[in-house]
């Protein structure tokens, strides 16, 4: 279980995000971090980790994809951080987490 330090006591299971990534369409093996300091209604990356985390948080209008959460996900051994992944929402190249094989 990973704690969301700004999630109002919310936690999540790292395997839930793995399942989410594997279910994405079109298929891919990564998720963009998409950290953004805007209210959820103005978040422009709904397929990002930050958006996914906010949906599980009690503080949905607060950025949840913070460094400690990213570090905790990498420490599980399930993910690797990459800098140049295609974002499905903005079509830009973005930082994200790729599933390890």
- Its domain, for residue 16, covers 2-99
Q: What is the pLDDT of residue 93?
A: 97
Compute the half-sphere exposure of residue 69: CA atoms within 13 Å on the CB side of its CA.
26
And the tokens for 25?
């369409």
CB-based contact 97:30 (threshold 8 Å): yes
Q: What is the DSSP string of 49-100?
A: HHHHHHHTSS-TTS----HHHHHHHHHTTSEEEEEEEEPTTT-SEEEEEEEP
Q: What is the pLDDT of residue 50?
A: 98
Q: What is the pLDDT of residue 25?
A: 87
Per-residue confidence in pLDDT tens, the chain, 101 aa: 999 999 999 999 999 999 999 999 889 999 999 999 999 999 999 999 999 999 999 999 999 999 999 999 999 999 999 999 999 999 999 999 999 98
Dmax over CA atoms of the chain, in Å, equals 34
- How many domains, in total, are found in the chain? 1
């Amino acid at each position: 279980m990973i704690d969301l330090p700004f999630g109002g006591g919310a936690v999540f299971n790292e395997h839930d995000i793995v399942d989410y990534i594997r279910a994405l369409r079109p298929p891919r093996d990564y998720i963009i971090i998409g950290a953004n300091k805007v209210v959820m209604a103005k978040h422009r990356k709904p397929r990002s980790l930050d958006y996914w985390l906010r949906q599980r948080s009690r503080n949905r209008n607060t950025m949840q994809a913070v460094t400690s959460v990213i570090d905790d996900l990498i420490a599980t051994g399930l993910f690797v951080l990459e800098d140049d992944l295609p974002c499905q929402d903005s079509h830009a190249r973005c930082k994200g987490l790729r599933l390890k094989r």
